[in-house]
Amino acid sequence: MSSKRLLTTLAINGIEHELALEPRRTLLDALRHDLQLTGTKKVCDMGDCGACTVLVDGRAMYACLLLAVDCTDRQITTIEGLAQADELDPLQQAFIEADAFQCGFCTAGQIMSLKGLLNETPAPNDDQILRAVTGNLCRCGAYRNILKAGRLAADQVAHPEEARHADSTH
Amino acid sequence: MYPPKFDYYRANSLSEAFSLMQEHGGAKVIAGGHSLIPSLKLRLADPGALIDIGRIGELKGITANGNSTRIGALTTHAIVAAAKNLPQGLTEAAGWIGDPQVRNRGTVGGNIAHADPASDLPTVFTALGATINLTGPGGERSVAAQDFFTGLFETALQEGELVSSIDVPTNGGGSAYAKLFNPASRYAVVGCAAQVKVENGVCSAASVAVGGLTSHATKANAVEAALLGKPLNEATIAAAAAQISQDLGDDVMGDLHASADYRRSIAPIYVAQALTAAASRAG
């Protein structure tokens, strides 16, 4: 079997990368091994745990179940693409405020799933926040605070000034 | 885990897909890949070549047409879950497939072609009386959902054919889907789809199917018969749901998630749940 490498252009966080990839290379391995973008985590590698969640054209997907060669002409967003210069994304800030992680290994995936939710549903209710992270396992059990972080981030996106003010009173 | 090596070909049209399939005998077709890529990683499949049909525009989208709505095979579960012109039993089932990541990528056509016995959509399409449209180099043919699912991961698809679309009747009455799901994968341990019509206070039409129990989605004829001509209340629904044991016979399967006995004993609960919700929507 020849399995020749294919020249593939991947648009990651707004930057195009040209790579010669084996067709069996997953987007997850391309991110971590070919592009050294190790913020996206590899855990189960079978589409169960959610640690590898990235956005593809704005929607949450498992990077471990996408062939990198099939990601041409798509806009991929990883955890490294959320902060703007020195300013964290409201979700990243909310995870810190709400203490929404313990070991932190699932955190990038949790944040990307919630980012996908906020892209489509800017003012989600608790049920929508919880359903958005049903594909993301947290074995430390930080779920309550992940929900809290989702609420905080949604408030921050809806009312940037008020939310910031409310946080400073804690 | 790494898939075995394979060559990769992208088809941009159906005709391109058919000629690639002809050229590369033994190749596997990939769409969303959410069943195939795990199989490759587990080395349950080693096809040598993949033909990617995921970008064929003519296989995408949802079109209402009179009393029926056509779902293109490459439509994702997320799009079906959000659709307005489909029976509620289908949209709610699609909304509880896996998780958002799976629903954003997995396709309806791939799901039914794979025919996992614990999958939700085969059960729903069977209950709703959907028609599966298949296309091959020789032309198109249609198979009733009830006849499409033939066994464990087995369907009526022939070598060289693809699922092109699914036609779902939209005038069948109130419909619902209920399942006990595996908490990790959200695959159905037991799933039931039901559709009922109520006229003059009694059930005038009923269609029920179950999944997760046997090798493939099964029509529950005994349950249906027990509903016809009855008012749909708690007692009649419970009595009809109990008939599911007749429909299942001795074919119930068990695995490490739930034994056959357990599945058989909880099946009536989910049949009753689906029927109760469907009846409330039959208005």
* Domain ranges within chain B, ordered by starting residue: 7-52, 57-169, 174-281
What pLDDT score does A1 carry? Answer: 52
Q: How far apart (Å, rounded) are the C-alpha atoms in residues A38 and B139?
A: 47
What pLDDT score does A160 carry? Answer: 76
What pLDDT score does B211 carry? Answer: 97
Residue B7 to residue A2, Cβ atoms within 8 A:
yes
Q: Could you say which DSSP state residue B158 is in?
A: P
Question: Which residues of chain A lie closer than 8 angstroms to B34, CB-CB?
Answer: 47, 62, 65
Residue B32 parent element (H or E): none
With a cut of 50, which residues of chain B have pLDDT below it? none
Domain ranges (residues) in chain A: 6-81, 90-164
Please give the residue that has the higher pLDDT: either B137 or A106. A106
Between A and B, how many CB-CB pairs are < 8 A? Answer: 88
Counting every residue, how long is chain B? 283
3-class secondary structure, B93: helix
Residue A73, pLDDT > 80, answer: yes
Instruction: Give, in words, the CATH class of B7-52.
Output: alpha beta
Which residues of chain A have a Cβ shorter than 8 Å from any chain B Cβ?
1-4, 6, 22-24, 26, 45-48, 50, 53, 56, 59-62, 65-67, 69-70, 113, 116-117, 131-132, 134-137
Residue A164, pLDDT > 60, answer: no
Candidates 3.20.20.120, 3.30.465.10, 3.30.470.10, 1.10.600.10; CATH matching B57-169? 3.30.465.10
Model confidence band, residue A165 (pLDDT cutoffs 50, 70, 90): low
Tell the CATH superfamily of the A6-81 domain.
Beta-grasp domain (3.10.20.30)
Least Cα distance to B31 among B4, B3, B61, B55 occurs for: B55
Mean pLDDT of A112-133: 96
What is the three-state SS of chain A?
CCCCCEEEEEEECCEEEEEEECCCCEHHHHHHHHCCCCCCCCCCCCCCCCCCEEEECCEEEEHHHCEHHHHCCCEEECHHHCCECCECCHHHHHHHHCCCCCCCCCHHHHHHHHHHHHHHCCCCCHHHHHHHCCCCCCCCCCHHHHHHHHHHHHHHHHCHHHHHHHHHCC
Model confidence band, residue A64 (pLDDT cutoffs 50, 70, 90): very high
Question: Which CATH fold would you assign to the domain A90-164?
Answer: DNA polymerase; domain 1 (1.10.150)
Candidates 3.40.630.30, 3.30.390.50, 3.30.930.10, 3.30.420.10; CATH matching B174-281? 3.30.390.50
Model confidence band, residue A163 (pLDDT cutoffs 50, 70, 90): low
Question: Which residues of chain B lie closer than 8 angstroms to A43, CB-CB?
Answer: none
What pLDDT score does B184 carry? Answer: 80
Interface-testing mutation among A70, A76, A113, A131, with chain B (most B C-beta atoms within 10 A): A70
Residues B143, B126 contacting (CB under 8 angstroms): no
Task: State ipTM.
Answer: 0.93
Q: How far apart (Å, rounded) are the C-alpha atoms in residues B194 and B124?
A: 8
Least Cα distance to B163 among B36, B63, B73 occurs for: B73
- In degrees, to the nearest 5, what angle opens at C-alpha B4 toward C-alphas B2 and B9? 110
What pLDDT score does B273 carry? Answer: 98
Strand partners for B63: B70
Question: Which residues of chain B lie closer than 8 angstroms to A127, CB-CB?
Answer: none
Residues B7, B48 contacting (CB under 8 angstroms): yes
Residues B212, B244 contacting (CB under 8 angstroms): no
Residues B31, B107 contacting (CB under 8 angstroms): yes
The CA distance from B187 to the nearest CA of chain A, in Å, is: 12
Rg (CA), chain B: 19
Q: How far apart (Å, rounded) are the C-alpha atoms in residues A82 and A92?
A: 8
Residue B6 to residue A24, Cβ atoms within 8 A:
yes
The CA distance from A106 to the nearest CA of chain B, in Å, is: 15
Q: Express each pLDDT in A139-161 by its tens digit.
A: 999 999 999 999 999 999 888 77
Q: Which pTM does this prediction carry?
A: 0.95
Residues B179, B192 contacting (CB under 8 angstroms): yes
Model confidence band, residue A170 (pLDDT cutoffs 50, 70, 90): very low
What pLDDT score does B89 carry? Answer: 98
Q: How far apart (Å, rounded) are the C-alpha atoms in residues B124 and B144?
A: 13
Distance set, CA A156 to CA A81, A127, B254 (Å): 19, 18, 48
Residues A37, A78 contacting (CB under 8 angstroms): yes
What pLDDT score does A169 carry? Answer: 44
